[in-house]
Chains A and B, each alone.
Chain A
């Protein structure tokens, strides 16, 4: 349709009447015309606010949605663990599990209470940062996680520090040499890296760098007493593994986003103004490619934090992932729940941050009519 505006715009049904909350932040989802004049809008305070300050409203909505989602996830984690076969008491007692002993332990841990009560008390603690005590070690879960999380973030941070600039750089390089040899080489290598599971890449790296050539350390275990440089050399292999895993996805998405922008009419306009290639990419293409690139970067950062589970196990790295895997094997529920919730929180809030940045990068939302 040639027409713009609400006539042919997206059908706004009652479900989406809470304004643009559910729309994607890309340009197409935003109404091209101003909606009604403020005084025509009856209704709630929220609707008037959303009309006057659309940007603030969108961001507040994202925040609200993220918190709501986190609660839903906490419920699902709890439910999922309830549904797991086997329980801590029988695993813990092993051969000596008499019905009486099992009953005693269950009572000890409060497992005889109804699940809704247990959920609420757990949630109440979690909101205040208290995840209870581990069943297996009788230590405070929060304290244990504090150490482990630091290690995991250390790993993820260095992986991100290397992979993000590398991916964006390679993506731009691939665009520059589109369909020529460098582009093809980058594509084939990244496809190979994305196709191999991370534990396999991990073992390959260990085999060559640690076992055959002896240039890297394995296992990548770190201790509190280690110095910074020692730590760095210890995590070299797990970082390399993580970089290889996330690089391809980010690189390919960057390439696609920039190519998409480069084929747009406004880039053609820039070319027909006689501007140089660098100015076209830096001034006309880049600002419009930011949103999709941010999105994929955030998704991969989230994956870095969450996806370390497997890599940590492979490299015997004392992070959250290994802690969680150990806890699952002994059915140490408070630890599993806490780890699950923290992973979910990272995932959700990184994605939210990406959404908000993409919204901020959208001139239609930054400068309403």
Chain B
């Protein structure tokens, strides 16, 4: 069988402009080769910066942000698309090869209706007339399970949800009947419960239309459900390339083995003691525009333990953190810290009360002043809460850097000079500097690559052992809950669905929502998606 897409010895370079230095050429992808046959799916997997998206876009002969394809061949049906001119490549893009971006919310033009955008490529390439294209779009909206498919195309991007947009983007890619679609992390920005629907819709649609696909993701469990072959990438080079079964079940390389085993960390819970640190009782909270986010939420956290709050976006978990910190005073209910009720609003709290509750954010990037060095960032709470300065302060900053396993050579670096994982470590050091009793962690690992995230989790566990600090850990990832929590609170639409020790919350009998949440987490097992969908169908048939 002839290859649909054949990539040979691909080399991609970009020019970087480091401040104060002459521009230098960086190689992003080197010597990558693969073949893809009609109707097959190849999964590209790796950490951020591994070159996955860059390789995916090379199938459209496109270099994002100054990337240049400088070597190798990209053969589509035996024709090298890198050698086509501007006009030639335009007749390939949107016609033979289509692209589904990670953030459909950004990739749709806010000024036009979804329907017009979905059929645009088919019309412009003269593949169909407006009537045919609209009919096909309607068919695709149905296949992808979009609500009210007849009128869906009349809506604007901001009028539909993220999951729906992602499906609309898939419809947009499928509409001109392309031979190949590049999916660039199409489900990464979605909740697990939404992800499974989109994943199923994508899988169904590519089977139905016999389209080939390049599926880019950092989640091995996701790619295991959808692809026939997998290529593992690191630093722009191929680590391992084989069938899905071989890569998942018998990885040959050390790095692949590490990726496969990341999710298997687990920790036994500590017994629930009576020594309660934080107690949240019947808290209601909302915003001043009348939108109520939290309804009657109660939970508690013993000293030195970890409480994980799980839920999808919009469930109110981050709002709960804001209520605990006092940034958003609750409208009803009370919060007790070490047996003493906390003033509701931030302004009413004493410096010492503030010191005892610290926070770590999802985006360490935006939570740090880019113009301050690590020394200043970590030193600030030291002078603010303890009045330290000079050599004493520097000494303490060094200690803290040792604690987060970074060392003193980072003292005078700026955040921009640190990697994502290092930034999050500095954020942890800053929280620790206040010697808090409670640290609120708001999805601190969800923007990080799996191996880096694992390092951060291990660090948090180690620090808990050393300093007996308690964590409230907000996450949407059940695997993390299994790895670090003692007790678990499941939130859904602003209400507490389930609360208790981890072993109880995560074992049956379940309520409907927790059941759905747990069943939606992709497992690294081939055929898992089909199994879940089958049980779902049986359940809905049974009802």
Contacts and interface: CB of A to CB of B under 8 A. Distances in A.
A279 B124 contact: yes
Interface residues of B, number: 51
Contact of A276 (B90, B101, B108, B442): B90
Contacts of A11: 287, 327-328
A265 B316 CA distance: 29
B111 A363 contact: yes
B101 A2 contact: no
Nearest to A10: B287
A59 to B, nearest CB: 19
A36 B110 contact: no
A63 B288 CA distance: 24
Could you say which of B90, B93, B99, B158 has the most chain A C-beta atoms within 10 Å of its C-beta?
B158
B293 interface: yes
A3 interface: yes
Contacts of A369: 158-159
A1 B318 contact: yes
Given A1-B362, A36-B290, A364-B110, A272 B313 contact: no
B120 A364 contact: no
A269 to B, nearest CB: 5
A6 interface: yes
B289 A8 contact: no
Contacts of A191: none
Contact of A268 (B64, B291, B318): B64
A17 B313 CA distance: 24
A64 B64 CA distance: 46
Contacts of A6: 287, 289, 291, 293
Interface in B215-253: none
Contact of B110 (A271, A279, A288): A288
A275 interface: yes
A274 B318 contact: no
Nearest to A272: B99
Contacts of A43: 290
B103 A42 contact: no
A211 B92 CA distance: 62
B446 interface: yes
A273 interface: yes
A289 B101 CA distance: 22
Nearest to B494: A7
A145 B379 CA distance: 63
Contact of A265 (B101, B162, B289, B363): B101
Contacts of B291: 6, 35-36
A3 B120 contact: no
Could you say which of A266, A268, A284, A287 has the most chain B C-beta atoms within 10 Å of its C-beta?
A266
Interface string B21-63: 0000000000000000000000000000000000001001010
Nearest to A33: B314
Nearest to B158: A364
B125 interface: yes
A270 interface: yes
Contact of B62 (A5, A271, A288): A271
Nearest to B315: A7
Interface string B86-121: 000111111100110101001111111000000011
Contact of B121 (A36, A264, A274, A276): A274
B156 interface: yes
Given A4-B313, A272-B62, A266 B290 contact: no
Contacts of B125: 274
A43 B290 CA distance: 10
Could you say which of B107, B189, B292 has the most chain A C-beta atoms within 10 Å of its C-beta?
B107
Given A273-B120, A274-B93, A7 B314 contact: yes
A367 interface: yes
B156 A271 contact: no
B358 interface: no
B312 to A, nearest CB: 9
B94 A274 contact: yes
Interface in B275-314: 287-293, 313-314
A248 to B, nearest CB: 26
A7 B158 contact: no
A41 interface: yes
Interface of B is mostly: loop
Contacts of B211: none
Contacts of B134: none
B57 to A, nearest CB: 8
B487 interface: no
Contact of B316 (A4, A7, A276): A7
B288 A14 contact: yes
Given A35-B290, A271-B62, A7 B124 contact: no
Interface string A20-62: 0000000100001101100011110001000000000000000
B319 interface: yes
Could you say which of A11, A264, A272, A367 has the most chain B C-beta atoms within 10 Å of its C-beta?
A272
A87 interface: no
Interface string A309-341: 000000000000000000000000000000000
B289 A17 contact: yes
A287 B113 CA distance: 13
A269 B158 contact: no
A100 interface: no
A19 B287 CA distance: 12
Interface in B150-193: 155-156, 158-159, 162, 189
A264 B65 CA distance: 11
A269 B110 contact: no
A257 to B, nearest CB: 14
Nearest to B176: A273
A353 B424 CA distance: 45
B290 A7 contact: no
A95 interface: no
Contacts of A7: 293, 313-314, 316, 318-319
A73 to B, nearest CB: 30
Contacts of B103: 265
Interface in B353-387: 362-363
A8 B315 CA distance: 11
Interface in A208-238: none
Contact of A2 (B90, B319, B328, B362): B362
A137 interface: no
B101 A269 contact: yes
Nearest to A263: B65
A265 B125 CA distance: 21
A3 B107 contact: no
Contacts of B290: 35-36, 40-43, 47
B99 A363 contact: no
Given A2-B362, A265-B101, A266-B108, A275 B120 contact: yes
Could you say which of A1, A14, A276 has the most chain B C-beta atoms within 10 Å of its C-beta?
A1
Contacts of B93: 271-274
A272 B318 contact: no
B94 A273 contact: yes
A274 B92 contact: yes
Nearest to A42: B290
A108 B237 CA distance: 91
B213 to A, nearest CB: 15
B159 A272 contact: no
Contacts of A96: none
Contacts of A35: 289-291
B419 to A, nearest CB: 20
Minimum-distance CB pairs A-B, first 4: A274-B93, A273-B94, A3-B313, A274-B94
25 contacts: A3-B313, A4-B162, A5-B313, A12-B289, A14-B288, A27-B110, A35-B291, A36-B289, A40-B290, A40-B292, A265-B103, A266-B109, A266-B110, A273-B120, A274-B89, A274-B90, A274-B94, A274-B124, A275-B94, A275-B120, A284-B111, A287-B111, A288-B110, A363-B111, A364-B156
Interface of A: 1-9, 11-14, 16-17, 19, 27, 32-33, 35-36, 40-43, 47, 264-266, 268-276, 279, 283-284, 287-288, 363-364, 367, 369
